[in-house]
């Protein structure tokens, strides 16, 4: 059987997901578990649960953006974690505790990080 580059990339990506998630567990425990808890159940009224979260499992743009920019009381991790680390921790969250999200690729994080830093800034006109 002859593999094309896209077929090979998909095959490798599917095989790599468990390894990426395993790497992401340590990152999660180091950076996220204090608030969202090691179980992903969060602390009601203070920190949202990631286990069963529609946001965590849905379109990866939302959780990537939250990690890059922060939200509410959650800090931004854009200067603490690189794109590969963000992809690993989000993959872990998206496939653990019964979550059914797809793995996050570092390129997805890079695209949003670049979009964030290259977005045009609105100018304020002085009167």
Q: What is the pLDDT of residues 89-110, one digit of tens each?
A: 999 999 999 999 999 999 999 9
DSSP-assigned letters across all residues of 82-125:
-HHHHHHHHHHHHHSTT--PPPPPHHHHHHHHHHHHHSPPPP--
Quote the number of domains for the chain.
Answer: 1
pLDDT at 120: 59
Q: Tell me the pTM.
A: 0.77
In a domain, residue 19? The reply is: no
In a domain, residue 68? The reply is: yes
In a domain, residue 124? The reply is: no
In a domain, residue 71? The reply is: yes
Q: Give residue 68's domain range.
A: 59-112
pLDDT at 42: 98
In a domain, residue 74? The reply is: yes
pLDDT at 5: 45
In a domain, residue 13? The reply is: no
Find out whether 37 and 83 touch, Cβ atoms under 8 Å: no
pLDDT at 16: 53
Look at 33 and 18; give whichever has higher pLDDT. Answer: 33
Q: What φ, ψ does residue 110 adopt, rounded to 5°?
A: -55, -45
In a domain, residue 36? The reply is: no
pLDDT at 7: 43
CATH number reported for the structural domain that contains residue 100 in this entry: 1.10.760.10
The answer, yes or no, to whether residue 6 has pLDDT greater than 50, is: no
In a domain, residue 4? The reply is: no
Q: How confident is the model at residue 87 (pLDDT cuts 50, 70, 90)?
A: very high
- Which pairs count as long-range contacts for 116-125, CB under 8 Å and 24+ apart, including other chains? 116/65, 116/68, 116/69, 116/78
């Amino acid at each position: 059987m002859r593999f094309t580059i896209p077929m090979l990339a998909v095959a490798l990506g599917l095989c790599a997901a468990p390894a990426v998630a395993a790497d992401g567990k340590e990152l999660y425990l180091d950076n996220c578990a204090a608030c969202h808890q090691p179980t992903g159940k969060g602390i009601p009224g203070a920190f949202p649960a990631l286990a069963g979260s529609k946001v965590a499992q849905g379109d990866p743009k939302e959780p990537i953006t939250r990690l890059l920019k922060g939200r509410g009381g959650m800090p931004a991790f854009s200067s603490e974690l690189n794109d590969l680390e963000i992809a690993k921790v989000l993959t872990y969250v998206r496939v653990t505790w019964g979550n059914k999200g797809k793995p996050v690729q570092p390129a997805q994080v890079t695209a949003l990080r670049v979009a964030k830093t290259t977005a045009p800034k609105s100018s304020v006109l002085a009167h």
